[in-house]
Amino acid sequence: MQMSVEDPVRLGESRLPDGRLLGWAEWGPQDGSPVLLCPGAATSRWLGFGTDVVDALGVRLVSVDRPGLGASGPAPGRTLDGWADDVRHLTAARGLEGLTVVGFSQGAPYALACAAAGVAIGAAIVSGGDELAAPEFADALEPEVRFLVDSVAADPARAEASFAGFGSPDALWEMIIAGSPDLDREVYLQPSFERAFRRAMDEAFSQGPAGYARDTVLAMGRWPFDPAGITVPVDLWYGRQDTSTVHSPDHGATLAGRIPSARRHLVPDAGGALLWTHAEEILRTLLRHTAGTASAL
């Protein structure tokens, strides 16, 4: 399957109340339905999805760099709740009322934090990282992932320093390719897609590895919100062929049981690259499930 990879139509930074800048990229009509992408690990605003269909769907896709990555200023000690506050300010500054969120891979808890805080009226989690430190997964993780989760629980600062020492665009790219099934590698290694993906990673590390390291500590730790308290519609998208050890260990089955408003989609012939291979379906479902919520606001 040939993937369409298009550069952002609009790029910019918005200043937050504490003076930090938040970098963003946009595709689609400015008056379209706002959909905010929380990118995966070690990537930046530059890599969108479904960019060939957003105009037809009337979607204003906004991808945002998390603090310390890409064009967003650092925020040492930041939290998932703090991210929801950042998005709340961005929503007001950029006119994104009626916002829905998409969380890909490590971006999943950031999207769910927005849903839990009432910043978004709906969410789609795609190949999402689960709450790996939750008791439900005590015996379900691969040994190397269990080690990382335990390291964060024992000494978060030390674990963060370790992640910073390891993290680099090249090392993480090799990890992604090595851990992906053939059908995902066919997507990632398409020349145009690989260039776009690796540019997004290079941009993410433009300030160094600290932003990635903080992201990873938050991804491996306990969430500060209770998924059971999320009331907006949440679609959970997983490919049955996904072999990533840091996505959901059970392809979202446990997470679907923890979120009362969740609907799980397990796609038999898809892998972890679901965000790009099934972009139109994901966006159409997100818009359909949130249309009623948006009209009631």
- How many domains does the chain fold into? 1
- Which residues pair with residue 133 across a beta bridge? none
Q: Each residue of 80-106: pLDDT tens digit?
A: 999 999 999 999 999 999 999 999 999
- In the block, tokens 């320093």 appear at 161
Per-residue burial over 177-191, b = 16 or more CB atoms within 10 Å of its CB, e = otherwise: eebbbebbbbbbebe
Is 1 within a domain?
no
Pull the structure tokens for residue 221.
């730790």
Q: Each residue of 16-55: pLDDT tens digit?
A: 999 999 999 999 999 999 999 999 999 999 999 999 999 9
> What was the pLDDT predicted at 167?
84
Q: Cα separations (Å) of 184 from 9, 47, 71, 239, 275?
A: 26, 16, 28, 10, 11
Is 4 within a domain?
no
**Strands lying side by side in the sheet with 123-126:** 10-15, 21-27, 59-64, 33-38, 100-104, 123-126, 234-239, 262-267
What whole-number distance in Å separates Cα of residue 61 and Cα of residue 39? 12
Is 131 within a domain?
yes
Is 5 within a domain?
no
> What was the pLDDT predicted at 297?
45
Q: Which amino acid is at 263?
A: R
Is 2 within a domain?
no
CATH of the domain at 266: 3.40.50.1820
- In the block, tokens 């479902």 appear at 285
Q: CA-based angle 171:197:275, to the nearest 5?
A: 115
In the predicted model, what is the mean pLDDT of the chain? 95
DSSP H helical ranges for 65-120: 80-94, 108-116
C-beta separation of 89 from 116 below 8 A: no
80 closest CA partner among 32, 45, 52, 119: 119
What whole-number distance in Å separates Cα of residue 162 and Cα of residue 78? 17
> What was the pLDDT predicted at 148?
96
Q: Each residue of 213-243: pLDDT tens digit?
A: 999 999 999 999 999 999 999 999 999 999 9
Is 25 within a domain?
yes
Is 3 within a domain?
no
pLDDT class for 5, splitting at 50, 70, 90? Answer: confident
Instruction: Write down the pTM of the prediction.
Output: 0.96
The helix (H) or strand (E) run that includes residue 218 is helix 210-220
State which residues form the domain around 147. 10-296
What whole-number distance in Å separates Cα of residue 194 and Cα of residue 199? 8
Q: Each residue of 183-219: pLDDT tens digit?
A: 999 999 999 999 999 999 999 999 999 999 999 999 9
